[in-house]
Amino acid sequence: MTDVVPVHQTELEHERGYVAGLYERLDELRAEKEHQLARVRKEGPQGSVQNVSERDAFATLYEDRLAQLYAVDDRLVFGRLDLDGGDERYIGRIGLTDEDQVRLMVDWRAPEAGAFYQATAHQRLGVRRRRHLMLRGRTVVDLEDDVLDATLLDDSSVHHGAGALLAAVTARRTGQMGDIVATIQAEQDAIIRSPLKGVLVVQGGPGTGKTAVALHRAAYLLYTHRDRLKTAGVLLVGPSQSFMRYIDRVLPSLGETGVVMSSLGRLMPGIKAVPETDRRIAKIKGRLFMADVVANAVANRQRLPAGPRKVDVAGTVLTIRPKQVRRARDRARATGKPHNEARATFVKIMVRELADQLKDKLEKSSGAGNNIDRSYLTEDVRTSRDVRIALNLCWMPLTPEKLLTDLFSKPEHLEMAAPFLKAKQRRRLLRAAEDPWTEADVPLLDEAAELLGEWDASAGRAQADQKAARKRDLANAEATLTNVHSMLEDFGVDGVVSAEDLVDANQAGDQYVSAAERAATDRTWTYGHVVVDESQELSPMQWRLLMRRCPLKSFTIVGDIAQASSAADVTSWAEALEPFVQDRWRLEELTVNYRTPARITRMAATVAQAAGLPVSTPQAVREGDWEPTVTRVGTAEREAALLAGVAEDLERIDGGLLAVIAPVSLEREVAEMLRATYADRVGSGGGGLGQDIVATTPGEAKGLEFDAVVLLEPEQIVREAGGVVGDLYVAMTRSTQTLRVLTTGELPAGLR
């Protein structure tokens, strides 16, 4: 009898040998870069300015490359293609060549790697066999072959494993999202590699890999369109800080660090907004008419005095008349500049007119002729405290924060700016001046910043100077690049470095900041591409802000319209996008659920459909081991039932991650209950180090996943969402293994 193990073993040994070679090369490259970096650093700050800045530019390049080489260590290689011509092609996180430029491994994003994800038995794309390599540490521990060429089926080297995809989707969750680079499915790959231009909407039910696809697409676009995107950058927007923490390791593991990641609450540099807990407020602040409210609020800060106003200029009393202010105001507004910048025009006109008035008065009182120096008079007017106060009352320089604080804390300001809102709606918007900014305020602050412009006109000039200097530097850098071309080639980075890289590196020496870092701190930065996750949640005002961040309108928008909470207030992508791009967007759909077992998706879909949500019948990759349960208990028994359920589920998931998802009003109580038994094991969001139990809410759990979910009081969750079932649907679809529903009251339709 022939034993199958030796054949498998032979193949395994073969792959181990090859993979060891790849790691050897990786180590070599690291050592090389370390050495080059040390050498450059050792040179110290000598030589001409140009030498010093060239040295800094190289140091930064080596540091970036080193960071990338270190980030890709885990599962460096994951696939092999056997091609018709007899060639073998290894697919991994980055491309590797040996000293003679012979290719050892292809970057998964390169066109030559596409077949790894796209080839099927029907459309082989020249592939005879696709092999998945499963690694632990640096060792290949298993193989899995997809045979696409039927003549290979009897080949003894073919190995059918347990299924790379199944192994990936059943792996225990850690509270941190991992990449899916080894098992991207064909429908996902087509989206990841879709062209850069235009607006791409990716619609998919829960767990279909929308977040994973969004992240891999960001990495793919940066790789494929490096020239265009390296300097402008890519912005990735997610719903909350806990979500951003959940996904923040994925891009580095794909060797990419150039993406600016931001939650909706952090899109305005310098503002750390908290979630808006009152959905009614979020809804009002999210509507597009708020742009008019903000514009009105700005216009209302360009005021006419009620009557003539006397001002003292160096002992002479002058009069500021409403008519005069109106004229100056109209001319300043006609410049089309933002408030703070147009103010300079307003002040200039007023000062000139007052100086004329002063001149007349002085001449009249002294009887002197036309011989008073105008510049002295202008200076007198300008430095008069009375004049300064009077002009400020007419046209005060403002920050976005000050404008909105006044707007929402002074009822008369709000009434003037939003006369078309009902009194009840305006009352709802009022807040104390010291209240923290919420996510719903961020687009309004951004709108205000846009209309107010730079605080100080000289800051605008400084920016223009900076731009001119940058242009000069770019020209110099182009010249430098030509000189160092051959040097770069030696280091294997030619083409990776651009003139912009050199300028950036030159600008600040050790305080070098990448395009991504600069973009993250500059509100007016415009990106080359924007990826938006959980985008069904965005309000029209949030869309408006994001559209401003990418005038080229190059977007990847992923989400599930059925998961929308009530605050988002949209029922279709067409409705959400129409105001900004009309019908110029394309739709792709993801149809397979990789997260949630079929038993759970069926129950969640029933609940969604009972509420009239347009949820299609889910297709899940596995059935799951445990039937979801729904239990009704008396209020007095709720705690005991919860703790018993948690204990049982923890045992089932054996070291995995468990979440109790509760209505917002119960979250704190639930966290305390859990802490009384599990102490430090209890965390929030996606959990933390050593925390395998999480107390959370449907809003916070959006986009995250857990091995077990215990869901408390579903009817109350629906009530808190203003009767919309989206949040409950989100909560029910977070689990990778078990779902347990506990209620003391009614149950929503579909769960009864």
Residues of this chain that bind ligand ATP (CB under 6 A): 165, 168-169, 180, 183-185, 188, 204, 206-212, 560, 594-595, 703, 705, 733
Which C-beta is closer to ligand ATP: that of 407 or that of 568? 568
Report whether 383 belongs to an annotated binding site: no
Say if residue 211 carries a ligand binding annotation: yes
Nearer to ligand ATP (CB atom), residue 176 or residue 316:
176
Cβ nearer to ligand ATP, comparing 297 with 620:
620
208 known member of a binding site:
yes
Q: Pairing between strand 96-97 and 199-204?
A: unpaired
Please give the Cα distance from 628 to 599 (Å, whole number): 7
Tell the smallest beta-carbon distance from residue 215 to ligand ATP (Å).
Answer: 8
Taking the complex as a whole, the smallest distance from the CB of residue 485 to ligand ATP amounts, in Å, to 40
DSSP-derived letter for residue 730 is H
- Nearest approach in angstroms of CB 558 to ligand ATP is 7
Tokens 């933002």, located at residue: 338
Type of residue found at 137:
G
- 204: annotated binding-site residue? yes
Minimum CB–partner distance for residue 72 and ligand ATP (Å): 18
For residue 704, the number of C-alpha atoms closer than 13 Å in the C-beta half-sphere is 35
Q: Which is nearer to ligand ATP, 59 or 184 (CB)?
A: 184
CB of 703 to ligand ATP, least distance (A): 4
Please state, as a whole number, how many other Cβ atoms lie within 10 Å of the Cβ of residue 240: 22
Distance CA 165, CA 478 (A): 47
Complex with ligand ATP: residue 95 or 209, whichever CB lies closer = 209
Give 41 or 599: the residue with its C-beta nearer to ligand ATP: 599
| 3-class secondary structure per residue, 602-670 | HHHHHHHHHCCCCCCCCEECCCCCCCCEEEECCHHHHHHHHHHHHHHHHHHHCCCCEEEECCHHHHHHH
Nearer to ligand ATP, 29 or 168 (CB): 168
Tell me: is residue 206 an annotated ligand-binding position: yes
How far is 34 from 70, CA to CA, in rounded Å?
A: 11
CB of 333 to ligand ATP, least distance (A): 46
- Contact between residue 438 and residue 274 where contact means Cβ atoms under 8 Å apart: yes
Query: Closest approach of Cβ 596 to ligand ATP, in Å?
Result: 8
- What is the rounded distance in angstroms from the CA atom of residue 616 to the CA atom of residue 562? 10
Q: Which is nearer to ligand ATP, 170 or 316 (CB)?
A: 170
Question: Taking the complex as a whole, how short is the minimal distance between the CB of residue 250 and ligand ATP, in angstroms?
Answer: 9
SS3 content of the chain, % helix, strand, coil (to 5): 50, 15, 35
Determine whether 214 is exposed, middle or buried from the number of CB atoms within 10 Å of its CB (0-12, 13-18, 19+).
buried
For residue 241 the two structure tokens come to: 């800080």
Among residues 208 and 296, whose Cβ is nearest to ligand ATP? 208
Q: How far is the CB of 671 from ligand ATP (least distance, A)?
A: 23
DSSP string, 229-241: HHHH-EEEEES-H
3-state secondary structure of 604: helix
Q: Residue 736: phi, psi to the nearest 5?
A: -100, -10
Nearer of residues 209 and 683 to ligand ATP, judged by Cβ = 209
Of the pair 214, 448, the CB lying nearest ligand ATP is at 214
Q: Under 8 Å CB-to-CB from 357, ≥6 apart: which residues?
A: 318, 319
Contact 254, 93 (CB under 8 A): yes
Cα–Cα distance for residue pair 442/439, rounded to 1 Å: 5
Which tokens hold the place of 36?
């080059």
Annotated binding-site residue? 258: no
Q: How far is the CB of 252 from ligand ATP (least distance, A)?
A: 16
Query: 307: annotated binding-site residue?
Result: no
φ/ψ (deg, to 5) at 92: -150, -170
Find all residues with CB under 8 Å of 254, minimum gap 6, and list them.
72, 93, 179, 181, 215, 216, 219
DSSP 436: P
Residue 31 to residue 25: CA distance in whole angstroms: 10
**Cα dihedral 172, 175, 177, 183 in deg (nearest 10):** 0
Task: Tell me: is residue 175 an annotated ligand-binding position.
Answer: no
Q: What does the DSSP 8-state code read for residue 305?
A: P
The candidate with the shortest Cα–Cα distance to 374, out of 360, 384, 386, is: 360
**Using CA atoms, how far apart are residues 58 and 53, in angstroms rounded to an integer?**
9
Q: Whose Cβ is closer to ligand ATP: residue 62's or residue 729's?
A: 729
Closest separation in Å from C-beta 206 to ligand ATP: 3
662 with 734: CB under 8 angstroms? no
**Cβ atoms 131, 76 nearer than 8 A:** no
C-beta of 681: minimal distance to ligand ATP in Å?
22
Q: List the binding residues.
A: 204-211
Q: List the binding residues for ATP.
A: 204-211
